[in-house]
């Protein structure tokens, strides 16, 4: 990203999650000062893994972050995220489909296949890149109002305020900034809906699994264990010593509309028995052994933004990450789309023609570049959920599963999801600016 001089406008980022932090780093690297306002008392990430596809890796590289992340992990032991194997959750876990290996397209293995990382490790790698003076903690945004000067006044729950020319909403799935972007007259203003699914999450020791007699190779590649109305994703992290597990239960018939948002909390520690009971009739021995090792699962009530937003930008308020397009995790692509947003926004704002006067046009460029792609991935993630949970007229027929998996994971759009040339797309868009 080209270095640039300080701008004639001020920027406030709301939210210091993976995307807000990446954005603060990317802008600072381009010489642009920002202020970050985070609701929590410190930066924090849940103790789980996250898969970063090749597109996410390239966006992080463009932001100058990747090298710091790679230093924090043993890359030889990090497992490619683009190479999922789909197996039956039941019986002997017969292989249903494997995502074809990607021909090397130049670049390194990580560039082509992505990686998996423990979220706190990612955070620990990037936090030192942020100037602590630019961050304010315990700042829970409650509202945004536009002042006569054109600036925005951010009001926080502690009674303080902050004014800025540009607001970047990186405040996640329950974004307050999103309320300022979605048209108040829009009948679907309340975009958050329950995605008709729960996910049990946990991390277990690979050694412990071997100790209880699991001989199947569960740690050399990501696996998706499929069943009717249920599925499980496992992939190794922490130098292949731990297995990240996310087991889904669908709650509705195929084709049922997504439901109104559920009351919070959306994440709860639950009794292991609840989870084991849900899978006992349909899971084979290795899949069951994995669940038995999850002695303290947490249950996530899955929500998504739906229908997708008609705009990621309103005047000089712009959304990135889950604030713009919180999606179900069945393509493992949510934060990758957020990093793409971040890379595109940082490059656009760093462009030397972007000043206070041209900011609206610059943000319109961001919206036209990012919204169609991120919304496409959001829609496809819901479709992937149905395919992986065998929801459809064919049910959990093996040949039907194979056909549908190939339709999704062998498609051009799926290849493009991971191997899209964002850098060129941003460069071409900027030429028109």
Ligand X SMILES: Cc1cc2nc3c(=O)[nH]c(=O)nc-3n(C[C@H](O)[C@H](O)[C@H](O)COP(=O)(O)OP(=O)(O)OC[C@H]3O[C@@H](n4cnc5c(N)ncnc54)[C@H](O)[C@@H]3O)c2cc1C
Q: Does 321 bind ligand X (CB under 6 A)?
A: yes
CB-nearer residue toward ligand X: 413 or 433: 413
CB-nearer residue toward ligand X: 36 or 426: 36
In the list 25, 80, 125, 176, the residue contacting ligand X (rule: CB under 6 A) is 176
Sign of CA dihedral 114, 192, 226, 254: negative
Residue 332 CB contacts under 8 Å (≥ 6 apart), including other chains: 51, 53, 81, 233
Sign of CA dihedral 279, 283, 287, 288: positive
Least separation in angstroms between CB 183 and ligand X? 20
Least separation in angstroms between CB 14 and ligand X? 5
In the list 166, 167, 199, 385, the residue contacting ligand X (rule: CB under 6 A) is 199
Q: Which residues pair with 154 in a beta bridge?
A: 144, 162
Q: How far is CA 415 from CA 103, 341, 377, 406, in A?
A: 11, 19, 12, 12
Residue 177 CB contacts under 8 Å (≥ 6 apart), including other chains: 14, 15, 141, 144, 167, 169, 171, 317, 319, 323
In the list 65, 181, 226, 246, the residue contacting ligand X (rule: CB under 6 A) is 246
Rounded Cα–Cα distance for residues 414 and 369 (Å): 18
In the list 1, 9, 20, 343, the residue contacting ligand X (rule: CB under 6 A) is 20
Q: Which residues pair with 115 in a beta bridge?
A: 52
**Secondary structure of 270-310 in HEC code, one letter for each residue:** CCHHHHHHHHCCCCCHHHHHHHHHCCCCEEEEEEEECCCCC
Contact string 274-303 vs ligand X (x = CB under 6 A): --------------------------x---
Q: Does 172 bind ligand X (CB under 6 A)?
A: yes
> Which range binds ligand X by CB under 6 A, 63-71, 165-173, 250-258, 414-422?
165-173
Q: Does 374 bind ligand X (CB under 6 A)?
A: no
Residue, CB closest to ligand X: 17
Tokens encoding 351: 């462009």
Candidates 430, 420, 328; CA nearest to 372 is 420
In the list 170, 204, 363, 369, the residue contacting ligand X (rule: CB under 6 A) is 170
Least separation in angstroms between CB 334 and ligand X? 3
Q: Does 336 bind ligand X (CB under 6 A)?
A: yes
CB-nearer residue toward ligand X: 171 or 367: 171
Rounded Cα–Cα distance for residues 342 and 36 (Å): 14
Binding site for ligand X (CB under 6 A): 14-20, 37-40, 50-51, 139-141, 170-173, 176, 199, 201, 246, 300, 321-323, 329, 332-336, 338
């Amino acid at each position: 990203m080209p270095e640039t001089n300080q701008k004639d406008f001020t920027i406030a980022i709301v939210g210091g999650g993976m995307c807000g932090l990446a954005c603060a780093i990317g802008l600072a690297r381009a010489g642009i000062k920002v202020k970050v306002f985070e609701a929590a008392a410190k930066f924090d990430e849940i103790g789980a893994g996250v898969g970063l596809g090749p597109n996410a890796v390239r966006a992080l590289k463009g932001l100058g972050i990747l090298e710091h992340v790679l230093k924090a992990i043993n890359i030889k032991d990090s497992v490619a995220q683009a190479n999922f194997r789909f197996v039956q959750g039941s019986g002997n876990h017969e292989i249903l489909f494997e995502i074809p290996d990607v021909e090397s397209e130049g670049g390194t293995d990580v560039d082509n296949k992505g990686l998996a990382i423990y979220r706190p490790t990612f955070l620990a790698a990037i936090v030192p890149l942020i100037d602590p003076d630019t961050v304010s903690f315990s700042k829970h945004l409650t509202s945004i109002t536009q002042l006569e000067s054109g600036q925005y006044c951010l009001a926080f729950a502690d009674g303080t305020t902050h004014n800025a020319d540009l607001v970047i909403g990186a405040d996640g799935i329950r974004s307050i900034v999103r309320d300022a972007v979605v048209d108040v007259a829009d009948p679907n203003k309340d975009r958050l809906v329950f995605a008709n699914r729960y996910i049990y999450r946990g991390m277990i020791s690979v050694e412990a699994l071997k100790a209880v007699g699991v001989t199947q190779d569960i740690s050399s590649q990501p696996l998706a264990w499929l069943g009717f109305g249920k599925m499980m994703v496992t992939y190794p992290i922490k130098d292949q010593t731990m297995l990240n597990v996310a087991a889904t239960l669908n709650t509705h018939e195929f084709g049922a509309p997504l439901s109104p948002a559920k009351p919070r909390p959306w994440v709860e520690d639950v009794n292991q028995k609840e989870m084991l009971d849900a899978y006992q009739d349909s899971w084979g021995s290795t899949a069951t052994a994995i669940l038995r090792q999850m002695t303290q699962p947490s249950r996530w009530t899955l929500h998504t933004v739906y229908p997708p937003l008609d705009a990621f930008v309103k005047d000089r308020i712009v959304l990135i990450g889950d604030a713009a397009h919180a999606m179900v995790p069945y393509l493992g692509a949510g934060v990758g789309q957020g990093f793409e947003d971040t890379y595109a926004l940082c490059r656009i704002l760093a462009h030397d023609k972007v000043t206070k006067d041209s900011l609206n046009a610059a943000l319109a460029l961001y919206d036209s570049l990012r919204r169609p792609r991120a919304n496409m991935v959001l829609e496809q993630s819901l479709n992937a959920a149905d395919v992986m949970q065998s929801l459809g007229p064919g049910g959990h027929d093996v040949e039907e599963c194979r056909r549908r998996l190939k339709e999704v994971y062998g498609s051009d759009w799926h290849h493009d999801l991971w191997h899209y040339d964002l850098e060129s797309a941003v460069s071409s868009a900027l030429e028109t600016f």
